[in-house]
């Protein structure tokens, strides 16, 4: 589960960078990357939830 958290942090940092570029500079490509990253983050959060529930049992 620790590895999953580490990759989540890296992906979230990249997401924030792209969101900032989209908002501040109007960079459309950054918006596309941010949307793709949000889908990847969603998958990782779901996996974290599954792993966390399994560890709690």
- The single-letter DSSP state of residue 26 is -
Long-range CB pairs of 54-57 (<8 Å, 24+ gap) are 55/1
Query: Residue 18: which domain range?
Result: 2-56
**Segments in the chain forming alpha helices (H):** 2-25, 28-56
| Domains of the chain: total | 1
Instruction: Name the nearest CA neighbour of 22 among 7, 12, 13, 32.
Output: 32
**pLDDT grade for 13, boundaries at 50, 70 and 90:** very high
Tokens 């779901």, residue located: 46
Q: What is the mean pLDDT of residues 28-49?
A: 95
- Which has more pLDDT, 25 or 5? 25
| pLDDT at residue 35 greater than cutoff 80 | yes
**pLDDT grade for 25, boundaries at 50, 70 and 90:** very high
């Amino acid at each position: 589960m620790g590895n999953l958290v580490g990759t989540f942090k890296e992906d979230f940092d990249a997401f924030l960078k792209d969101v900032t570029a989209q908002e501040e500079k109007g960079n459309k490509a950054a918006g596309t990357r941010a949307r793709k990253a949000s889908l990847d983050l969603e998958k990782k959060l779901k996996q974290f939830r599954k792993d966390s529930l399994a560890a709690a049992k």
